[in-house]
Amino acid sequence: MDKLNQRLEQKNAAVIVVDVQNDYCHPKGAIAKTGIDVSAAGEMIPDLQALLDAAREHGIPVIFLQTNHEKATDSEVWLSRFEDGVNPICHTGSWGAEFFVVSPKETDIIVKKHRYSGFIHTRLETVLQTLKIETLIMTGVSTNLCVESTARDGFMRDYHIILMKDACAAFSQEEHDMTVKTVDAYFGMAASTNDVIDYWKQHAGRIPQLQT
């Protein structure tokens, strides 16, 4: 807890919600249609929702990263990952690109992205700098791809990283556990939602607030 307290004490934090969208999380989404088990995404939703509710209650900014793909953003290199050269995931304006279960509130911020990392060719860093954010509380899917890519890039930009191990999900437990271990060792720390929520409750009134 001491390490967690150091990351949160006197540090402006934001919760980053990565790619909690139908194509990645819904049992009828594009990923599930390939035969991949997406059940872990649904299982982590209650912990994620509890974290978001607590963040909003205590004035912690919530930033949703939303993947959108279209011809204008899908390069030849990006499409080479698919056998037929066609990206079926999160097309702009599609049901698959919509948020899954948890949705942004009026006070939340949405940042659209087109690559694994939320920092690549997006307005995320401008938003973080404007809000004077120093600590990123990472949540979402998938733990080992878009969440980890964003966390790594955030650390390289001198943000403190806290990975919510029970508010992230991957498409296998092995992949999830590997990222939790890697981030905790080299890019920040891993923690549970209860630990962060308890910190906010115990320090209510002393948490750095977003100035509007």
Which residues are part of the catalytic machinery?
19, 113, 146
Residues 6+ apart with CB under 8 A from 174: none
Contact 39, 173 (CB under 8 A): no
What is the C-alpha R_g of the chain?
A: 16
- Beta-strand (E) ranges in the chain? 13-18, 62-67, 109-113, 135-141, 160-169, 189-191
Give a three-class secondary structure readout of 104-126: CCCCCEEEEECCCCCCCCCCHHH
Contact 19, 146 (CB under 8 A): yes
